[in-house]
Amino acid sequence: MTKIAVLGAGKIGEALLSGLLSAGRRASDLLFTERHPQRAAELAERYGVRAVDVPAAAEEADVLVVAVKPQDIEPLLDELEPRLAHRGGSDRPRSLVVSLCAGLPTGLFEARLPEGTSVVRVMPNTPMLVGEAMSVISAGRHATDEQLDLVEELLGSVGKVRRAPEGQQDAVTALSGSGPAYFFYLVEAMIDAGILVGIPRAMAAELIVQSAVGAATMLRGAEGHPVMLREAVTSPAGTTIAAIRELEKHGVRAALLDAIEAARDRSVELGRAHEIGSTTDQG
């Protein structure tokens, strides 16, 4: 069985470990590294997965999933490079490197890791925790079709997967990578509105969350385009159109366009901060 090591077990790293276990992968086929010992101990206890250091991960794993913040990538690459070079000298195939890092191009990994290292860039999202991730994958220069198939299979066990050219990854990051946060933000604001119109918080939360689940299920089903679904809720001289007028007046649609464009731009900036010779802020 393919052995997978998650390098950096924060929010998305944990979501991946948890999702792979729920999908039936054996704990003994998973490893992780985590620089905070207390966090490492908690996760090892919770999931029964072994915490190791980077050299052990590079030695044992077939797939190395990089899940540290883009700002933390440099020291990790420094640590990984000699280990992958060492493994390249043995009979075993070199590990496949899968990056989940927002903004970082496959070219960065290829430039910093031993010549010929296969890299796949992935933008997942946190619904991976419940087997409902949306992941978009792009091959680096040396990744083979078989390696891309392997990554697709891995991520397919924790949600939906699409392939896209790497040039689209910054936009993808802004849409589906960050996307769950926009929905959580909306739900939070709608619950507050429930309080404003006199509904107790717990009940407001139940009404809104179930409406979100129902709406998402309809969107995913055969029912059609979001405009048609919205029109079906919007009665002449009714309540919904009164609300929509306010949303339009407050520029919510324009705010979403600007927000997603800003997220795309930030992803590009995170990548640029790691260009060779760059002195720009990496935060």
Ligand X SMILES: NC(=O)C1=CN([C@@H]2O[C@H](COP(=O)(O)OP(=O)(O)OC[C@H]3O[C@@H](n4cnc5c(N)ncnc54)[C@H](O)[C@@H]3O)[C@@H](O)[C@H]2O)C=CC1
Ligand Y SMILES: O=C(O)[C@@H]1CCC=N1
Chain mean position to CA 133: 8
| Residues that constitute the known binding site for NADP(+) | 67-70
First to last CA, the chain: 38
- Which listed residue (95, 106, 126, 147) binds ligand X by CB under 6 A? 126
Mark out the alpha helices in 98-200 (DSSP H runs): 106-112, 145-156, 169-172, 179-196
Binding mask 45-84 for ligand X (x = CB under 6 A): ----------------------xxxx-x--xx--------
Kindly list the distances between the CA atom of residue 216 and the CA atoms of 68, 119, 141, 213, 223, in Å, as whole numbers in the listed order. 30, 33, 36, 5, 11
Identify the sign of the CA torsion 130, 271, 167, 259: positive
- Beta-carbon contacts of residue 196 (< 8 Å; ≥ 6 apart): none
| Residue 159 touching ligand X (CB under 6 A) | no
The token duo for 44 is 């090892």
Q: Nearest distance from residue 5's CB to ligand X, in Å?
A: 10
Span from 173-181, 194-202, 214-222, 228-236 in contact with ligand Y (CB under 6 A) = 173-181
Span from 30-38, 113-121, 141-149, 235-243 in contact with ligand X (CB under 6 A) = 30-38
Q: C-alpha dihedral over 258, 260, 261, 265, to 10 degrees?
A: 130
- Which listed residue (105, 124, 159, 179) binds ligand X by CB under 6 A? 124
Q: Nearest distance from residue 71's CB to ligand Y, in Å?
A: 10
Rounded Cα–Cα distance for residues 94 and 85 (Å): 8
| Residue 147 touching ligand X (CB under 6 A) | no
| Residue 169 touching ligand Y (CB under 6 A) | no
The token duo for 177 is 């990578």
Q: Nearest distance from residue 37's CB to ligand Y, in Å?
A: 24
Chain mean position to CA 274: 20
- Which listed residue (12, 143, 158, 191) binds ligand X by CB under 6 A? 12
Q: Which is nearer to ligand Y, 181 or 243 (CB)?
A: 181
| Residue 124 touching ligand Y (CB under 6 A) | no
Report which residue's Cβ sits closest to ligand Y.
Answer: 177
Rounded Cα–Cα distance for residues 7 and 37 (Å): 14
Binding mask 174-203 for ligand Y (x = CB under 6 A): ---xx-------------------------
Chain residues binding ligand X by CB under 6 A are 7-13, 33-36, 39, 67-70, 72, 75-76, 100-102, 123-126, 177
Chain residues binding ligand Y by CB under 6 A are 102, 173, 177-178
